[in-house]
Amino acid sequence: MKVTATAIPDVLVIEPKVFGDARGFFYESFNQKAFDEAIGRHVEFVQDNHSRSAKGVLRGLHYQIEQPQGKLVRAVRGSVFDVAVDIRRSSPTFGRWVGEELSESNHKQLWIPPGFAHGFLVLTDAAEFLYKTTNYYAPAHERCIAWNDPTLAIDWPLGGAMPLLSAKDATGAMLDKAELY
């Protein structure tokens, strides 16, 4: 696999070796040993999640204030613009974000360690999104930062449209009011 650091070095783009021909393709989507070597430490995943969303749906920016989750994310159908926001107050990249297009055709994955808020925007008619997490979902500890926080100024590729949001995501906190790490 090819591993590339983003503008926030802790967030990594992972590109598997894809073997394809006229019949289709094959790739190893996860290998614990290779992943640990790539990021330089052992990470244990405890939960796999799968979501399907329509075009224009924006999910996030989510995180858990306790039981923080690292996430290894990818799109297996369609395309998404995936965003990670550093919300670790002690980090030199606190308050910065990175975004990456993940799609069924580019096979890219994004490693987002604990301490980040995460969200994505669906770019195609629909997208199916898979993510492995390093901690269990804990609804009592889940928090949401506003997708349109002006201090973050995330450049979502909305093309002038408004995203489709859940009630929770529509009422996300501004970064300066959010509970952070």
> Could you give the dihedral angle defined by the CA atoms of residues 74, 76, 78 and 79, in that order, rounded to the nearest 10 degrees?
10
In the chain, DSSP assigns E strands to 2-5, 12-15, 19-21, 24-26, 47-54, 58-64, 71-77, 79-86, 97-103, 109-112, 116-122, 126-133, 142-144
Active-site residue, 136 included:
no
Catalytic residue among 63, 107, 118, 131: 131
Catalytic residue among 42, 62, 107, 141: 62
Q: Tell me the C-alpha to C-alpha distance, in Å, between residue 173 and each of 19, 91, 143, 158.
A: 43, 20, 8, 21
Positions marked active-site: 62, 131
